[in-house]
Amino acid sequence: MNEIMTNNEVVEYLGLPQEIIENLKTQQGDEFRATANQFLSALINKICYQTVDTFGWENPFKKFYGFPINYGDTIENIFVELPKGYTFDKDATDPFVKKINDVKVLYASINYEMQYEATIHDTLLRRACLNEYGFMNLVSAILKSLTAGKNIDEYFADLSMLNNPNIYAGKQFKTLDVSTLTTKKEIAEALTQKIIDVTSSFELPSTIHNALGLMNATSKDDMILVIRRDLYNRINLDFLTGVFNLSKVDLIKKIIIVEDFRVKGSDGTVNGEDLGFVVLDRRCFDCHVALDDSGMIYNPKGKYTNHYMNLWEVISFKYFYNAEAYKVVLPSETVETPEEPTEPAGN
């Protein structure tokens, strides 16, 4: 007669890992349900519906990027300067003297190489979802987060580039001091006036608005205003009680609002100066995508898939074109002076 094996003997014979044995033991409370569901497929959670959300956002500076770089890693930018005239000499005898053209050259190479990774445990995720659509939504959200991560890092890289004083006229940040003004209206008016003065001056040929001191001009269609959100709101909400705002300024075709020009590093350090606004020619952007791809590899032993995304770029600036950056010194407190009531028309 064969001996009947006990449960303990069966478990010992099978050689199950100790952690699985512990997990299969009866536990109480919420922890029991979470653990047991890993092994008892007949036990259904009380979840009746799932939604999957993730961060989604587009880099506003991306529209100013140039052509992609498919080969090589360096771009040569050449700017041909204006020739200098001279007084005509009717007695000149040598027409073969050579005149070398004046040119300026800037080089930009790949300086931004980022990779993003996400691991998807296919089998375990299937257990966590109610149906195939929930599973696909979850996987899609995880992969979408890689793209969102690329976009936000690229945006902060562009802000870091704009926070370099060497790319602006005079190779420095300028300062607009409105700390002595007392009302919100006066401050908003001063901010608007400075922006209009700069943009209107950009339209006229001069050598004072770019880092290399070259003769240049910027058309209305090429002009960009990048402005800190609090200053933008001061102008639009306070100046003339909203009768006038920056979107109505004919010289400014493109406005990009940022929360802050400073960028926080991975160690928590805040980098850059606290700029107020930047006026620049869109042609200043010398940014190009060199590599933007993705791939994945499945690990059959671990039952998971590693997904990768890469973004390599040239992030640079053309010093030939007009660009000025301003720090704004605000008063610690502003007191609003009540305005005199206006008589209705016709009285």
Q: 10-residue block means of pLDDT along the chain (347 residues)?
A: 60 62 51 45 53 78 93 90 86 84 89 92 70 73 88 93 95 95 87 91 95 93 93 72 54 83 86 95 95 93 91 94 96 55 43
CA distances from 257 to 59, 159, 182, 262, 329 (A): 12, 12, 25, 13, 19
Collapsing DSSP states into helix, strand and coil, what is residue 218? coil
* Domain range summary for the chain, segments of one domain joined by +: 16-46, 110-329
Rounded distance, CA 23 to CA 21, Å? 6
Q: Write down the pLDDT at residue 17.
A: 64
Longest dimension (CA), the chain: 132
Q: Write down the pLDDT at residue 30.
A: 45
Rounded distance, CA 21 to CA 161, Å? 57
Angle between helices 229-238 and 184-202 (to 10 degrees): 110
Neighbouring residues of 9: CB distance < 8 A, sequence distance ≥ 6? none
Query: Would you say the C-alpha torsion 6, 9, 13, 19 has a positive or negative sign?
Result: positive
CA distances from 205 to 105, 198, 209, 215 (A): 21, 13, 10, 6
Measured CA angle at 153 (ends 77, 172), to 5 deg? 50
Q: How far apart are the first and last CA of the chain?
A: 118
Rounded distance, CA 236 to CA 227, Å? 12
Backbone torsions φ then ψ of 313, nearest 5 degrees: -145, 160
Rounded distance, CA 311 to CA 154, Å? 9
Strands (E), the chain: 74-80, 103-109, 112-120, 174-177, 223-228, 254-258, 263-264, 270-271, 277-281, 285-299, 304-317, 323-329
Half-sphere exposure of 111 (CA within 13 A, CB side): 15
- Residue for token pair 């190479």: 109
Q: Write down the pLDDT at residue 11.
A: 57
Q: Write down the pLDDT at residue 9.
A: 64
Q: Write down the pLDDT at residue 336.
A: 47
Q: Write down the pLDDT at residue 259.
A: 94
Q: Write down the pLDDT at residue 347.
A: 37
Q: Write down the pLDDT at residue 328.
A: 96
Q: Write down the pLDDT at residue 250.
A: 59
Q: Write down the pLDDT at residue 345.
A: 43
Collapsing DSSP states into helix, strand and coil, what is residue 242? helix
Rounded distance, CA 168 to CA 290, Å? 26
